[in-house]
Structure 1
Amino acid sequence: MSVTARSLRHLSAPLLALALAACAPPPIYPNVPNAIVAVPSQVAQSPERYSGNAVIWGGRIVGVQNYADHSEVELLAYPLDSSQRPRVADNGGGRFIVVMPGYVEALSYPPGALMTVSGKLNGSRAGKVGEADYVFPLVIAAQSHVWTPAEMAQGRSNISFGVGVGVGIR
């Protein structure tokens, strides 16, 4: 193999990685210096320790409750990728409740949709998941974003490798 061919081969992998990373959208919220890295299940164990700290969390919407002066969105937490999109292929990190001022339209926050929120922790509330007792950390939302399928796919490679058999029907 020539020196030029060897040099190109060594450069191709880092260039491909850089090109794929360049396609990923930037984070939607600026990182907050005092934001905690704990997951909701950790915060639920000692909510008083984390109260008042900033978080950027995300997950899958479980449901919405509207009250006279605020609304609450329950989420099943997932870790976030570099663009702050929930990574649903990973294990969930517990549940939490996002408290939003005023009324939110439940159709804008449909069950199963993915959401990212930036806000501050404000204690917890005891509740239930099915018949099981559960402690929900409460996040007072500063900003929230419900992800569209197109946004979730943005920056992801459409290239896949594998061996298999395809069947076509005519």
Structure 2
Amino acid sequence: MNIRILTIGIATIMLGACATVPKPLQGQFQVLTPHEAAASDHIGATVRWGGRIIRTEPRADRTCFEVISTKLNADGRPYQASDDTAGRFIACRTGFYDPALFEPNREVTFTGRIDGYEERKVDEYAYKFPRVAADVVYLWPQRERVNVVTRPDPWMWGWSGRWGWGW
């Protein structure tokens, strides 16, 4: 009996391991939100942050992304359409990332170190953005929208108009 329980437990753990973080996003990171990072000095902290792109800014030698942060799920992907934000941040990476592909509202996850802070305006509000020197820029595939139409199953209703046949 105990062996069966142990086997079920091991199988459960093994299946749980199947929902792993993509290899580029794996590692040890500090549990810190962009909001918490902006509230006090955390320069040098290694983070894995993600969310939805607000703006992509190609520069001469790098591309910077302004991102609204959301929690990440078990595989490191930002939760879909989450209104529970953890602040905003800027992530920069050497090279050109095309704004036509890295467009607003695309889901993205970054890994890297906090290397400073930038003061920018969000409309008229002065906002302190933590800036991440990104090692990884992981653009998630767009989610497919599926419209599900449900109809009552005629075989589930009997002539009596109640659940089941004639009950």
What TM-score do the two structures reach when normalised by structure 2? 0.72
| Aligned AA (1:41) | H
Q: Secondary structure at the match of 2:100?
A: helix
**CA 1:166 to 1:107, structure 2 compared with 1: closer, same or farther past 3 Å?**
same
Is 2:38 the partner of 1:36? Answer: no
Superposition map of 1:1-170 within 5 A: 21=16, 24-28=19-23, 29-32=25-28, 35-46=29-40, 49-88=41-80, 89=82, 91-149=84-142, 166=150
Gaps of 5+ in 1: 1-13, 154-164
- Are residues 127 and 84 of structure 1, via their aligned partners in 2, closer, same or farther at CA, if it must alter by over 3 Å? same
How far the C-alpha of 1:25 sits from its partner, in A, is: 4.2
Q: Which amino acid aligns with 1:64?
A: T
> 1:66 Cα deviation (Å)?
1.6
**Structure 2: runs of 5 or more not aligned:** 1-8, 153-167
Query: In structure 1, how many angstroms separate the alpha carbons of the residues matched to 2:37 and 2:60?
Result: 27
Higher relative contact order (CA 8 A, sep 6+): 1
Partner SS, residue 135 of structure 2: strand
Shift of 1:50: 0.9
Structure having the larger proportion of residues in helix: 1
CA distance in 1, matches of 2:129, 2:116: 9
Contact kept? 1:72, 1:97, Cα under 8 Å? yes
Q: Determine which structure has more spread, i.e. the larger CA radius of gyration.
A: 2
Which residue number corresponds to residue 156 of structure 1? none
- RMSD in angstroms over aligned alpha carbons? 3.0
Other structure's SS at 1:42 match: helix
Shift of residue 90, structure 1, vs aligned partner = 5.5
Please say if residues 106 and 142 of structure 2, whose CA atoms lie closer than 8 Å, have aligned partners that are also in contact: no
Amino acid paired to 1:61 = I
Once residues 103 and 166 of structure 1 are traced to their aligned partners in structure 2, the CA distance between those partners, rounded to angstroms, is: 45
| Residue-by-residue CA offset, 1:7-33 (whole Å, 9 max, x unaligned) | xxxxxxx8xx8798466343442222x
